[in-house]
Amino acid sequence: MRLLLTHIHELYQTETVHRRTRVAGAEMAEMPKLHNAWLLIENGLIHSFGDMASMPEMHADETIDACGRLVLPAWCDSHTHLVFAAPREQEFEYRIKGMSYEEIARKGGGILNSARRLNETSEEALYDSAYERLLEVMAQGTGAIEIKSGYGLTTESELKMLRVIRKLKENAPVPVKASFLAAHAYPLEYKNDHEAYIKLIIEEMLPRVAGEGLADYMDAFCEEGFFSVADTDRLLEAGWKHGLKPKIHANQLHYSGGVQVGVKHNAVSVDHLECVGEAEIECLRNSNTIPTLLPGAAFFLGIQYQPARKIIDAGLPVCLATDYNPGTCPSGNVPLLLTMACTQLKMTPEEAVHAVTLNGAAAMELQNELGTIAVGKKANLILTKKMNSLAYIPYDFGNNPVHKMILNGVLY
């Protein structure tokens, strides 16, 4: 099956000779592109592309005139909690009236509230609602996604969540990565015995999760009032023993030491990063760990935004992800995330798009398959509505830039 796109107004993120695995620092502002371009897809992969002026004669099963439209790699959303049982709009109201996220959590709300609801919900119902959400975000441009467990908090419920994610992996037309996040909150029955819950995760849950091949990554919410640096240290070490690389929640609410413990364990990414100073930046500079920023959660909680400029100006890569979850960011809308990144984090449109394409792919270790327009990569692409430039996507806020999605070379 060959699909040909012609007269593409701008084709973004093109790579020819030089293949990049991530983009960092000043390079993030430079977005390679071709004007008035063509692109040929064969059997789900990018076959070739170039200038219309030098387009060779070729056969295609279907040809689309992309005049006036942009083509770019689909978004790679590397941090979500897409599987959940119920929304939490009541906590949203509590916060409007002045309660903080941590206060709500201490009273048994927040993550524990989601865990209660998930325990009462069947695997089938969880799958159906998650699949619906996945279809929604795919229609907004998402072409690869990471999904966490962490609303189970018992062995059976964590396994249930991870099986739902596995089923999504099997059935969705986009790559899905799974992270094991039993260390999301201490269940009430372990409130005064943290050691017993850590033991349960390490000795009972992890061997089963790894044994069934249910997770790609080990996650933990390293934060004051949640999992300490010492807890996280043990959990990440145990994850590695079962072949799970770390990818963790760090420095959302405090300068918690989460970045340092993540880097110590060679985490693929450390995510959130509202609280980042010189020590965290220095630590990241000497690592391969990708700083992943989740401005949607900062927006929705009304807390400080992540210092993206400081991180990029230090020569580091920045990845952006939605954090789609029922508590702190009930939205998986990447175009809206791009607007926040530009208006609040002061990232340029090019930096922001790099952060959710190549760097998003890298934060899921999919940089060799996705994230740029390169020969042999998977054809998961966005064909936009008519627009002039990349900047129009974050500028046109609240609106969906997608005209058609191309996933595995198939039009949606």
325 labeled binding residue: yes
142 labeled binding residue: no
- Of 262 and 327, CB closest to ligand NIG: 327
Nearest-approach distance from CB 224 to Zn ion, in angstroms: 16
Rounded Cα distance between 189 and 386, Å, is 55
Q: Indicate the residue whose CB is closest to ligand NIG.
A: 327
Site string for ligand NIG, 58-97 (x = CB under 6 A): -----------------------x----------------
State yes or no: residue 249 binds ligand NIG (CB under 6 A). Answer: yes
184 labeled binding residue: yes
Nearest-approach distance from CB 100 to ligand NIG, in angstroms: 12
Rounded Cα distance between 148 and 133, Å, is 14
- Of 323 and 351, CB closest to Zn ion: 323
Site string for Zn ion, 72-111 (x = CB under 5 A): ----------------------------------------
The site that binds ligand NIG (CB under 6 A) totals a number of residues, namely: 13
| Near ligand NIG in 110-129, by CB under 6 A | 110-111, 114
Nearest-approach distance from CB 149 to Zn ion, in angstroms: 11
Nearest-approach distance from CB 191 to Zn ion, in angstroms: 22
357 labeled binding residue: no
252 labeled binding residue: yes
| Near Zn ion in 272-331, by CB under 5 A | 323
- Of 242 and 254, CB closest to ligand NIG: 254
Rounded Cα distance between 387 and 347, Å, is 20
Rounded Cα distance between 192 and 201, Å, is 16
222 binds, among ligand NIG, Zn ion, none (CB under 5 to 8 A by kind): none
Nearest-approach distance from CB 175 to Zn ion, in angstroms: 19
151 labeled binding residue: yes
Nearest-approach distance from CB 392 to Zn ion, in angstroms: 29
Three-point CA angle 127, 130, 135, nearest 5°: 120
State yes or no: residue 140 binds ligand NIG (CB under 6 A). Answer: no
Residue 252: what residue type? Q
Lookup: tokens for 279: 């020590």
Site string for ligand NIG, 308-347 (x = CB under 6 A): ---------------x-xxxx-------------------
Lookup: tokens for 49: 């592309």
Rounded Cα distance between 107 and 132, Å, is 31
Nearest-approach distance from CB 102 to ligand NIG, in angstroms: 11
State yes or no: residue 219 binds Zn ion (CB under 5 A). Answer: no
Which strands form 245-250's sheet, in the order they lie side by side?
A: 75-77, 142-148, 176-183, 217-222, 245-250, 269-272, 290-293, 319-320
Give the max Cα distance, the chain. 71
Which residues are at the interface with ligand NIG (CB under 6 A)? Answer: 81, 110-111, 114, 221, 249, 252, 297, 323, 325-328
Which residues are at the interface with Zn ion (CB under 5 A)? Answer: 323
